[in-house]
Structure 1
Amino acid sequence: MEDELFDLVQRAQNGDSEAMYEIISLLKPAIRSARYKIKTDRQDDLEQNIVEIIMRKIMNYDLALVQSPDFSAFCRQLKPENR
């Protein structure tokens, strides 16, 4: 999966919207899990915010610094304090 994610991020950074959609789809279970932990009237906003942050992080992720694809390192960059 890590190689696949690396390739998807690379494609997304090159403007491939389908690759971006695939990444979001891979992360959808985690997004849904977070969504259901808050009040119903805020769930849609939270999901949208999470997707927006993920997209921004994907576009700013420096693949040149990656020696080998590392999903855990990518996830650490998704933390809000790194926005």
Structure 2
Amino acid sequence: MEPLLGVKIGCLFALLALTLVCGLIPIRFRWFQINAATSGRHRLVLSLLGCISAGVFLGAGFMHMTAEALESIENKIQKFMIQDRK
């Protein structure tokens, strides 16, 4: 195995582990549990945090799809322009 490939695989697993650890940290704190939320303000903050995280995931997904769609559209436009010239 090439050294660069090993480094890439190591970084991939390190990023996965870091993401899982940081993503699961709120589970350990009672403040982030919805059944511990007694006041309306506490529930509102938890709801807003949930909405923000959902927006981040949706934004990342749409950004990924947009890049692929633009690339696909560009390829189709180039094909049509080549066919027009013939």
Structure with more helix by fraction: 2
Q: TM-score, normalised by structure 2?
A: 0.31
Q: Comparing both chains, which one has the higher relative contact order based on Cα–Cα distances under 8 Å and sequence gaps of 6 or more?
A: 1
Q: TM-score, normalised by structure 1?
A: 0.32
